[in-house]
Amino acid sequence: MDMLLDGFATALTPINLLYACIGVLLGTSVGVLPGIGPAMTVALLLPVTYNVSPEGALIMFAGIYYGGMYGGSTTSILLNTPGESSSVITAIEGNKMAKAGRAAQALATAAIGSFVAGTIGTVLLVALAPSVADWVVNLGAPSYFAIMLLALVAVTAVLGDSKLRGFISLALGLSIGLVGTSTGQPRLTFGNSLLADGIDIVVVAVAIFAIGEALWVAAHLRRRPLEITPVGRPWMGRADWSRSWRPWLRGTAYGFPFGALPAGGAEMPTFLSYITERRLSKHPEEFGHGAIEGVAGPEAANNASAAGTMVPLLALGLPTTATAAVILASMQSYGLQPGPGLFDNEPELVWGLLASLFVANTLLLVLNLPLAPVWAKLLRTPRPYLYAGILFFASLGAYSVNFQWFDLLVLLAFGLLGLAMRRFALPVLPLIIGVILGPQLEYQLGQALQLSEGDWTTLLSEPVAVVAYVVIALIVLVPLVARLRGGGTDPLEKELDDLEKEVRP
């Protein structure tokens, strides 16, 4: 508790409070805009925060993450166009409420549910992350290697419609991570001395997220103006409160544990929350026509998962979402390595970050309820201007990393790669995590084999490692066996596909 109070002393300094406000406002604004998410925003801001203290930069990025998770609900409700994949389920009932003249109530239950779930999730994060770090510090290199391998396989195997595409994306990321001379011998440098230190993760992240997304959206711009549902000041009546508070709590119970799991993310808990509320509701006839429970539960699950994501990120150094991967890259750019040692080596930074999550969550509620009409107007920003600005700032940011023209060529090359990945439906997250975890995976493997004098059986010498390999085998083999035996589609996947079809305008 004393450490948390010290963290609040750090988070509530005027400068850090300013960074939190900037992060929340930026995160909400980019979450509102379709096609732009918190991962892209954090990637764009990475280069410009080099002169900011580590505490200030991470507090701002955490605010962007929380704000982005909230902002996606606004565009889902008002436009039926989710700004984030985790807001897909919100659009099903939220847009129907808006069309029925209840946009204010839908936005209010989303905002208050986000606050409730985010607060509970952050309390759980503060309680669990130090304990997990204390447990992990006793693990050896074989266990670290197995856990990282599990994270790579889990993230790759469950994203997208095709496991093959996921593993292709992972292979690309691991290949990019091999570039350089970290082992003393040049690898994939093609004789270019500028590649001797490897490819900067900041340049890769900005290219894949910002350049790739901007080029993809530019190629698919809709010429007709967006039809935006008018909204007044968000408010909720007594009946709305009565129907929302239980879904908020149930959504939190789904979201936090899924966020903490590799590849858990926010999509599955929001879907499960929606299904639960539809089955438990006393007003089942309203589902599909604007049921407030269908907004309250998924939005709570969405924001609770954001808090859950921070547990493996801080305690293990494992990102489970694209935004967490970019935040990890920002930590590494400051010479910080998230994991069990972080709580002992940088207590002021860690506890300041954890305290700032409470601050950011409160700011979200205080700022976003009155600013809902402003966010609705932001949706009218012309897309050509928006993405032209993104391309400009992405290029400027990438150049400012090392002030070398070569980085601009790398930015363009990986930007085109990001465009191609979207064209062929390759998930982006396995590539980014492959770039970040690939070198660490190689290091832990080298450590394990060096200590055992080359004995490969050392990789199975620790119980945690064995459990991780068993889980990997289950992740890979169980869906394959089920498909061979059943010859059909998983009913849960089918129901999720049907729900996603409902969202498409």
- What is the number of other CB atoms lying within 10 angstroms of the CB of residue 170? 26
Separation of alpha carbons 397 and 449, rounded Å: 39
Using CA atoms in the order 267, 273, 278, 282, what is the torsion angle rounded to 10 degrees? -150
Lowest mean pLDDT among 156-160, 233-237, 356-360: 156-160
Q: Could you tell me the CA-to-CA distances from 326 to 39, 42, 66, 323 in Å, in that order?
A: 7, 7, 14, 5
Q: Could you tell me the CA-to-CA distances from 81 to 110, 148, 212, 264 in Å, in that order?
A: 16, 35, 20, 23
pLDDT beyond 60 at 465: yes
What's the confidence (pLDDT) of residue 92? Answer: 76
**Residue 34: which of 378, 417, 321, 295 has the closest Cα?**
378
Residue 505 falls within a domain, yes or no? no
Q: CA 497, 301, 84: angle at the middle one, nearest 5?
A: 60
Residue 21 falls within a domain, yes or no? yes
Could you tell me the pLDDT band of residue 499, with boundaries at 50, 70 and 90?
A: low
Dump pLDDT digits (tens) for 180-224: 876 667 887 877 877 877 887 778 877 887 788 778 877 776 555
What's the confidence (pLDDT) of residue 120? Answer: 92
Residue 504 falls within a domain, yes or no? no
41 is in which domain, residue-wise?
A: 2-498
Residue 210 falls within a domain, yes or no? yes
What's the confidence (pLDDT) of residue 37? Answer: 64
Residue 73 falls within a domain, yes or no? yes
What's the confidence (pLDDT) of residue 366? Answer: 83
Both tokens of 185, joined, read: 């011998």
Answer yes or no: are the C-beta atoms of 338 and 314 closer than 8 Å: yes
Answer yes or no: are the C-beta atoms of 16 and 356 closer than 8 Å: yes
What's the confidence (pLDDT) of residue 416? Answer: 92
What's the confidence (pLDDT) of residue 230? Answer: 53
Dump pLDDT digits (tens) for 11-57: 888 998 998 888 888 878 777 776 566 677 777 766 666 678 888 88
Phi, psi of 187 (to 5 degrees): -130, 125
Dump pLDDT digits (tens) for 347-376: 888 888 888 889 888 888 887 777 777 776
Q: Is 6 exposed, middle or buried (0-12, 13-18, 19+ CB in 10 A)?
A: middle
Q: What's at 263, amino acid-wise?
A: A
Dump pLDDT digits (tens) for 280-316: 888 888 877 778 888 888 888 888 888 888 888 888 8
- What is the number of other CB atoms lying within 10 angstroms of the CB of residue 165? 18
**% pLDDT > 90, the chain:** 3
Using CA atoms in the order 186, 191, 195, 197, what is the torsion angle rounded to 10 degrees? 30
Could you tell me the pLDDT band of residue 498, with boundaries at 50, 70 and 90?
A: low
pLDDT beyond 50 at 504: no
Q: Which residue has the higher pLDDT, 24 or 264?
A: 24
What's the confidence (pLDDT) of residue 335? Answer: 80
Residue 199 falls within a domain, yes or no? yes
* Average pLDDT of the chain to the nearest whole number: 79
Separation of alpha carbons 221 and 388, rounded Å: 13
Separation of alpha carbons 317 and 437, rounded Å: 9
Residue 503 falls within a domain, yes or no? no
Separation of alpha carbons 234 and 244, rounded Å: 15
Phi, psi of 50 (to 5 degrees): -65, -25
Q: Which residue has the higher pLDDT, 200 or 423?
A: 423
Mean pLDDT score, 160-172: 80
- What is the number of other CB atoms lying within 10 angstroms of the CB of residue 242? 11
Separation of alpha carbons 146 and 357, rounded Å: 30
Separation of alpha carbons 413 and 405, rounded Å: 13
What's the confidence (pLDDT) of residue 225? Answer: 52
The overall pTM is greater than 0.75? no
Half-sphere exposure of 346 (CA within 13 A, CB side): 20
Residue 251 falls within a domain, yes or no? yes
Separation of alpha carbons 191 and 194, rounded Å: 9
Dump pLDDT digits (tens) for 84-139: 556 667 777 887 888 887 888 888 888 888 889 889 988 998 888 888 877 776 77
Number of compact structural domains in the chain = 1
Which among 92-101, 164-173, 324-333 has the top mean pLDDT?
164-173
What's the confidence (pLDDT) of residue 326? Answer: 80
Could you tell me the pLDDT band of residue 454, with boundaries at 50, 70 and 90?
A: confident
